[in-house]
Amino acid sequence: MRYGTFVSTYKIQRSKLSYNLLTPKPDPNNKKSLRPERINASLRDVYALLAPYIGVRIKDQLQAVVPLALYLGLFQVFVLDYPIQEATVLCLGLVAVIIGLAVFMEGLNSGLMPFGNIIGTNLPAKAAMPVVLVVLGMLGVGVTFAEPAIGALQAFGSSIDVMKAPYLFELLNNWTLPLVLMVGAGVGFAAILGTVRFIYGWSLKPLIYVSVIPLGLLSTFFWLTPDLRSILGLAWDCGAVTTGPVTVPLVLAIGIGIANSAGKGNSSLSGFGVVTLASLFPIMAVLLLTLFVYSQITPDQIIGNAAAVKDAVSSQVSVWEQTPLVEIILGVRAIVPLVLFLGFVLFVVLRSKLTNTLVTVYGLSLCVIGMCIFNIGLTYGLGAMGTQTGEGLPGAFIQTSLVASSPIFSNLVGIIVVILFAFVLGFGATLAEPALNALGLTVQKLTNGAFKKEMLMYSVAIGVAVGISLGVAKLVLDLDLATLLLPLYVTGLTLTALSSEEFVNVAWDSAGVTTGPVTVPLVLAMGLGLGKAVSATEGFGILSLASICPIIAVLTMGLLIKIQQKSKSPA
Amino acid sequence: MADRHIIYLTNVKMITCVLQNGLGEDVLEAAKNAGAQGATISYAQGTGIRDRMGLLGVTIDEQKEVLRLIVSDDQADRVFEAIYLAGRLDTPGKGIMYVSNLENVATHIPQGVLDAVSE
């Protein structure tokens, strides 16, 4: 028996108190006196309320960040024998990530989500369907800006070598705003199409074919054009970046609200599909934007401009471009437009009110503050950590200046070690993702237990692990992304044609769900660091492979279950 | 047709416990250790205290878990206390619980249990 239990058992004192003494008595002089008064909490009560409130939220993020960071750090120190650089800054950065995410997620739940829910339920009743869809599309742009991981794309832009990939450099340095806008437009279009799909109950399969086949053709064109080939990695990675903790719940809340009011929201599958489309259309949008840039400017001009800018920048860096101001500006810029837009829809279009203004304002402030802290952590924590490990990884198989005892292993063994490292990283990071657990539960319910939660989680995790390993292998062995992606997507499409609607929905959504705000920056930074160290053209593409592989894994698992059930049923 | 027989259980109480979302599991475990057979769990929205606390109200989750446990007279106090302690209801914002008397409870009672009682 625990001593604590013993003590508390014997310390209970029982006494009685009449509730009559606590309730207000009618006062003939004051009509309002019966209404319960505002509570003034004592300092002790405030502590008792705040401690678990903060504790639970920090704990959630600790669980997401610490195991990953430990794994990376231990691998770097003990396997690569490459001491962690600037360990203090790195730790502070990770602390910033944890606190930033905790604050941001709480802000999302108490600030942004009420907006989404109110708009979702009220908008369809008060506005015509085209207006509703336009609002939804614009929302797609807003949520993309607010997505924490999108900052990672912008943050790593400067690491691109302009000589090797001029268009990639141009896009990530001078076209960041149009880039994010186009990605947002892709998400917005996906939100519209996904909602229309809810309303009319369309099957997801044809939508997948219609989106993936042009994507494949366009990508083939890019692949055949030498100047554009380096863009493919970025474009396909964008799909994974966009479907994060802001986009998915907000778009779903509004989409499902609309579908419900149209009377078609009851299907067990409503809610699925938006994530899939939101991870496909941005790819298309980025490719189209690149085509536009391609028609505007030649590689030589870009290289010329970059050289000119470099000279200008090195002379002066303004205060606004230094930490922490730049992160704060980025954070404010990410959230405020979305809030203004949601506010406009709610107050001007709907002429509605918020149920609890104080709490909403509090939540929105938390969003902004959290985003700013997270941005700082992104640069100094996750980004730095991923870059370091990425740069150190080649030390396992080739001679590098960073790792003293490199090459640690012979060429082949070293590459296997690196790929194994990537596999475990992908597997662990995916299993730790809370969104996957939720998806697993939904799927288990949908399929009446035929598809167990654990089965989904493990097949997605193995898929991501294989994807990240492939991505790392691509960088290390200098494979071509398109020659990996295209066959995988062909396989995915073939399996889609063979599978039933439920599994198609689940499988294609599972990819978007798994890439959260911790995994994305870490993997992106690692890819870029690794790419730099092995002097590959660019380090993108890992995430895109980590998106298609789980789709194939889940579809295969679904087909296996189907075959199993068939072989059982005749007997 | 075989004879149908209803056994009316007496001396039954129900403990209802409204808890902040996420606390249910610990409480249920403690209640089971104190002898409760099981519980019916439902999810509900709470209102009241949250709105009267101003900004501090955000620390109290709107989502509530409602546990309903059917216990015998003998068990009632023990389970009640176990829940109170496990749920730490003496700290603010955790939840509320109450006991009510139940009349005429009926359910399937296994023959083995009936035999054991009549001996």
CA distance B103 to chain A (A): 25
DSSP string, A169-220: HHHHHHSHHHHHHHHHHHHHHHHHHHHHHHHHT--HHHHHHHHHHHHHHHHH
Query: What gap in Å lies between CA B24 and CA A38, rounded to an integer?
Result: 28
Chain A: residue whose CA lies nearest to B77: A14
Q: What is the pLDDT along chain A (571 residues), one digit of tens a residue?
A: 666 666 655 667 778 888 888 887 777 777 666 777 777 778 888 888 888 888 888 888 888 788 888 888 888 887 777 777 778 888 888 898 899 888 988 888 888 887 777 887 788 777 777 888 888 888 888 888 877 777 667 666 666 667 777 787 777 777 878 888 888 888 888 888 888 887 777 788 888 888 888 888 888 888 888 778 778 888 888 877 777 777 777 777 777 777 677 665 555 555 677 788 888 888 888 888 888 888 887 777 777 777 766 655 544 555 555 666 777 887 787 788 888 888 888 888 877 777 777 888 888 888 888 888 888 888 888 888 888 888 888 777 776 666 666 566 677 788 888 888 889 888 888 887 767 777 777 777 766 777 788 888 888 889 989 988 988 888 888 778 888 888 888 898 888 888 887 778 888 887 777 667 777 788 888 888 888 777 766 778 888 888 888 889 988 988 888 888 777 765 4
Asked whether the beta carbons of residue B59 and residue A8 sit closer than 8 angstroms, the reply is no
Query: What gap in Å lies between CA A188 and CA A191, rounded to an integer?
Result: 5
User: Largest Cα–Cα distance in chain B?
Assistant: 65
Query: What gap in Å lies between CA A408 and CA A392, rounded to an integer?
Result: 11
Contact between residue A382 and residue A522 where contact means Cβ atoms under 8 Å apart:
yes
Domain count, chain B: 1
Bridge partners for B72 per DSSP: B12
Looking at the complex, does the CB of residue B51 fall below 8 Å from at least one CB of chain A?
A: yes
Query: What gap in Å lies between CA A76 and CA A82, rounded to an integer?
Result: 6
Chain A: residue whose CA lies nearest to B52: A38
**Crossing angle for the helix pair A129-146 and A325-343, to the nearest 10 degrees:** 170
Adjacency order of strands within the sheet including B12-20: B40-45, B63-72, B12-20, B95-102
The verdict on residue B7 lying in a domain is: no
List residues of A whose CB lies inside 8 A of any B CB. Answer: 8, 12, 36-39, 41, 45-46, 48-50, 52-53, 56, 110, 356, 358-359, 362-363
How sure is the predictor about B112, in pLDDT bands with cuts at 50, 70 and 90?
Answer: confident
CATH of the domain at B52: 3.30.70.120
CA A255 to chain centre: 19
Asked whether the beta carbons of residue A53 and residue B51 sit closer than 8 angstroms, the reply is no
Looking at the complex, does the CB of residue B53 fall below 8 Å from at least one CB of chain A?
A: yes
The verdict on residue B110 lying in a domain is: yes
Residues 6+ apart with CB under 8 A from A318: none
pLDDT of residue A51: 85
Start-to-end CA span in chain A (Å): 53
Asked whether the beta carbons of residue A362 and residue B93 sit closer than 8 angstroms, the reply is no
Q: What would you report as the CA-atom Rg of chain A, rounded to the nearest whole angstrom?
A: 26
Asked whether the beta carbons of residue B92 and residue A49 sit closer than 8 angstroms, the reply is yes
- Residue A98, both tokens: 């944890």
Bridge partners for B42 per DSSP: B66
Query: What gap in Å lies between CA A319 and CA A326, rounded to an integer?
Result: 8
Asked whether the beta carbons of residue A49 and residue B93 sit closer than 8 angstroms, the reply is yes
CA distance B92 to chain A (A): 6
The verdict on residue B1 lying in a domain is: no
The verdict on residue B96 lying in a domain is: yes
- Residue A99, both tokens: 């606190």
Asked whether the beta carbons of residue B52 and residue A46 sit closer than 8 angstroms, the reply is no
Query: What gap in Å lies between CA B73 and CA A425, rounded to an integer?
Result: 54
Could you list the residue range(s) of the whole structural domain that residue B85 is in?
12-118
Asked whether the beta carbons of residue B53 and residue A41 sit closer than 8 angstroms, the reply is yes
Contacts of A41 in chain B (CB under 8 A): 53, 56, 92
Asked whether the beta carbons of residue A358 and residue B60 sit closer than 8 angstroms, the reply is no
pLDDT of residue A571: 45
Contacts of A12 in chain B (CB under 8 A): 81, 85
Contact between residue A75 and residue A392 where contact means Cβ atoms under 8 Å apart:
no
- Residue A167, both tokens: 């268009």
The verdict on residue B2 lying in a domain is: no
Looking at the complex, does the CB of residue B85 fall below 8 Å from at least one CB of chain A?
A: yes
pLDDT of residue B80: 93
CA A79 to chain centre: 29
Burial A165-193 (b: 16+ CB within 10 A, else e): bbbbbbbbbbbeeebbbbbbbbbbbbbbb
pLDDT of residue B28: 92
- Residue A570, both tokens: 């005749």
Contacts of A34 in chain B (CB under 8 A): none
The verdict on residue B112 lying in a domain is: yes
CA distance B81 to chain A (A): 9
pLDDT of residue A516: 72
Choose between A410 and B14: higher pLDDT: B14
Query: What gap in Å lies between CA A2 and CA B37, rounded to an integer?
Result: 23
pLDDT of residue A315: 47
Residue type, A81: D
Asked whether the beta carbons of residue A36 and residue B22 sit closer than 8 angstroms, the reply is no
Peptide bond preceding A407: is omega within 30 degrees of 0, i.e. cis?
yes
pLDDT of residue B79: 92
Q: To probe the interface with A, which of B59, B81, B84 has the most A CB atoms within 10 Å?
A: B59
pLDDT surpassing 60 at residue B9: yes
pLDDT of residue A403: 62
Query: What gap in Å lies between CA A275 and CA A166, rounded to an integer?
Result: 31
Residue of B52, B57, B85 with shortest CB distance to A8: B85
3-class DSSP assignment, residue A298 = coil
Looking at the complex, does the CB of residue B90 fall below 8 Å from at least one CB of chain A?
A: no
Asked whether the beta carbons of residue B52 and residue A39 sit closer than 8 angstroms, the reply is yes
The verdict on residue B16 lying in a domain is: yes
Looking at the complex, does the CB of residue B81 fall below 8 Å from at least one CB of chain A?
A: yes
Query: What gap in Å lies between CA A389 and CA A68, rounded to an integer?
Result: 12
Asked whether the beta carbons of residue B60 and residue A49 sit closer than 8 angstroms, the reply is yes
Which residue, A120, A285, A283, is CA-closest to A195? A120
Looking at the complex, does the CB of residue B96 fall below 8 Å from at least one CB of chain A?
A: no
CA distance A456 to chain B (A): 24
Say how many CB pairs under 8 Å bridge A and B: 40
Kind and range of the H or E element at B13?
strand B12-20
Contact between residue A547 and residue A511 where contact means Cβ atoms under 8 Å apart:
yes
The verdict on residue B5 lying in a domain is: no
pLDDT tens digits, residue range B54-99? 777 778 888 889 999 999 999 899 999 999 999 888 888 889 999 9
